[in-house]
């Protein structure tokens, strides 16, 4: 009942919306307007297509414009790829850039000296909780798969050796760990997040890049696949 | 000598012949300018594609009208704010049709969310629930409930602005 009353009330209000009684829609002039607007839109579409065709023809017809267009295209593609690479914060796939850094005892460690082995290269820091979670896993992998040709390498981005040494002693890490002042991280692209872990195959190519805390089983699966 | 064959009428022109007047009237009910209503009706037909229903045409017309109503309301607000911009004098037709109640209803419709306003206007145009559901792409079973809510919102907003009539 209440709904019926509301319905009637609203209908009464809307009934006031009546156009002027003397006005009648003018169909012939409406039809003329419709035809003229349709024709104008068709002309605009044709004009745009013709302009695009003319532009393409001009570019393709002259060697100078063709070369210029090719360079513009290359530059656009190159920039887009650089930008997307930056935002993915992943190093480009391909050969792992070589580097040499001293380990905790001062001995130089060179990445290329591990060619022929599967390398897990982990960028980490003592102040990064997920990194601290992962380091003991890598120590375990280093022990478990070492005999099959696997090696773990840690590159700490801490500001000094002091906190790194303390942490390594506490966690009993035996794989080579180095401290980087930013040069090696720079070689591997923009590491926007820690931990960043790369898997490098026996030929020295980066095959996997992980950013952030990853499931332990995921690492195990990937390492075992590479060792097979 | 044979007479020239008449130009075949396109689907668009056939539906235009049948529906132009009611669509233009539906738009003119929402905005106060009949000339502008005819322009908007043509716009609605230009958006039409084969397969679209009459309900779709009403919805498109009503939507264009509500957008125009909101544009007008915004324009009036800015003119009032700036002050020095003079409002053009109303045409005799506008003066004739600008009953106070009509303006109130338009103001309230313009302040509702678009779906509520469309529901009320399409129902008021006499469309069946199934046609409204198809035009607004909603479940036919929920049209009644949504329409009732739209009516309640309309009344609440009307009473808030102008008190009980």
Q: Among 1.20.140, 1.10.10, 1.20.1260, 1.20.1250, what is the CATH number of B11-162?
A: 1.20.140
Taking CB atoms and an 8 Å limit, are B120 and A24 in contact across chains?
A: no
In this predicted structure, the answer to whether residue B104 has a pLDDT above a threshold of 70 is yes
High-pLDDT (> 70) share of chain B, %: 80
Taking CB atoms and an 8 Å limit, are A33 and B154 in contact across chains?
A: no
Which chain A residue shows the shortest CA-CA distance from B44? Answer: A34
* B38 to chain A, closest Cα gap in Å: 7
A203 with A115: CB under 8 angstroms? yes
> CA-CA distance, B82 to B85, in Å (whole number)?
6
Could you tell me the fold of the domain covering A94-227?
Glutaredoxin (3.40.30)
The residue among B18, B34, B93 with the most chain A CBs within 10 A of its CB, best to mutate, is B34
The pTM of the full predicted model, rounded to 2 decimals, is 0.52
Q: Give the length of chain B.
A: 165
A77 or A177, higher pLDDT: A177
The ipTM (two decimal places) reads: 0.77
* Residues in A 19-48 with any Cβ partner in B closer than 8 A: 19-20, 23-27, 29-31, 33-34, 37-38, 41
How many Cβ atoms from other residues are within 10 Å of residue A131's Cβ? 22
Which chain B positions have a beta carbon within 8 Å of A4's beta carbon?
Answer: none
Taking CB atoms and an 8 Å limit, are B158 and A37 in contact across chains?
A: no
Q: List, in order, residues 6 or more apart from B95 with CB less than 8 Å away.
A: none
The residue among A21, A34, A38, A41 with the most chain B CBs within 10 A of its CB, best to mutate, is A34
Q: What is the pLDDT of residue B77?
A: 65
pLDDT in tens, B22-38: 999 999 999 888 899 99
Q: What share of chain B is helix, strand, coil (3-state, %, to 5)?
A: 75, 0, 25
Query: Which residue of B46, B93, B155 is in closest CB contact with A34?
Result: B46
Pick the closest to residue A103 from A59, A154, A160 (CA basis): A154
A221 to each of A130, A210, A228, how far by Cα in Å? 20, 13, 11
For residues B120-136, average pLDDT:
91
What residue segments make up the domains of chain A, in order of their start?
Answer: 29-88, 94-227
In this predicted structure, the answer to whether residue B9 has a pLDDT above a threshold of 90 is no
How many Cβ atoms from other residues are within 10 Å of residue A17's Cβ? 21
In this predicted structure, the answer to whether residue B97 has a pLDDT above a threshold of 50 is no
B89 or A165, higher pLDDT: A165
Query: Which residue of B30, B148, B154 is in closest CB contact with A17?
Result: B30
pLDDT band of A33, cuts 50, 70, 90: very high
Query: Which residue of A3, A13, A29 is in closest CB contact with B105?
Result: A13
pLDDT in tens, A63-111: 878 788 878 877 776 666 555 555 444 555 688 899 999 998 889 999 9
Q: What is the pLDDT of residue A185?
A: 84
B81 or B46, higher pLDDT: B46
> CA-CA distance, A131 to A122, in Å (whole number)?
9
pLDDT band of A136, cuts 50, 70, 90: very high
Any CB–CB contact under 8 A between B39 and chain A?
yes
């Amino acid at each position: 009942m209440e709904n019926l009353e509301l319905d009637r009330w609203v209908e009464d209000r809307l009934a006031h919306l009546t156009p002027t009684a003397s006005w009648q829609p003018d169909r012939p002039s409406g039809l003329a307007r419709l035809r003229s607007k349709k024709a104008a839109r068709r002309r605009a579409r044709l004009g745009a297509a013709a302009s695009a065709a003319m532009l393409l023809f001009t570019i393709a017809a002259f060697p100078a414009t063709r070369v210029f267009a090719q360079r513009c295209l290359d530059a656009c593609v190159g920039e887009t790829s650089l930008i997307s690479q930056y935002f993915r914060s992943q190093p480009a796939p391909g050969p792992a850039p070589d580097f040499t850094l001293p380990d905790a005892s001062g001995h130089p460690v060179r990445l290329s000296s591990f060619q022929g082995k599967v390398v897990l290269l982990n960028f980490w820091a003592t102040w990064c909780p997920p990194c601290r979670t992962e380091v003991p896993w890598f120590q375990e992998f280093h022990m478990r798969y070492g005999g099959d040709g696997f090696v773990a390498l840690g590159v700490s981005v801490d500001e000094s050796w002091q906190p790194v040494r303390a942490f390594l002693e506490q966690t009993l890490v035996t794989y080579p760990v180095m401290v980087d002042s930013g040069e090696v991280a720079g070689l591997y692209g923009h590491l926007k997040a820690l931990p960043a872990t790369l898997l490098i195959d026996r030929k020295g190519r980066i095959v996997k890049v992980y950013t952030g805390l990853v499931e332990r089983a995921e690492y195990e699966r990937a390492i075992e696949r590479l060792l097979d | 000598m044979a007479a020239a064959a008449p130009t075949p009428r396109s689907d668009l022109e056939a539906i235009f012949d049948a529906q132009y007047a009611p669509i233009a009237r539906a738009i003119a009910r929402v905005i106060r300018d009949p000339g502008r209503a005819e322009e908007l009706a043509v716009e609605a037909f230009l958006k039409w594609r084969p397969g679209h229903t009459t309900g779709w045409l009403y919805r498109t017309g009503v939507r264009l009208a509500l957008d125009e109503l909101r544009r007008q309301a915004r324009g009036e607000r800015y003119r009032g704010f700036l002050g020095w911009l003079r409002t053009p004098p109303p045409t005799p037709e506008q003066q004739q049709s600008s009953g106070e109640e009509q303006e109130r209803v338009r103001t309230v419709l313009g302040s509702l969310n678009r779906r509520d306003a469309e529901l009320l206007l399409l129902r008021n145009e006499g469309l069946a629930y199934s046609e409204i559901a198809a035009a607004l792409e909603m479940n036919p079973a929920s049209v009644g409930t949504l329409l009732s809510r739209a009516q309640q919102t309309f009344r609440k907003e009307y009473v808030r602005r102008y008190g009980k009539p």
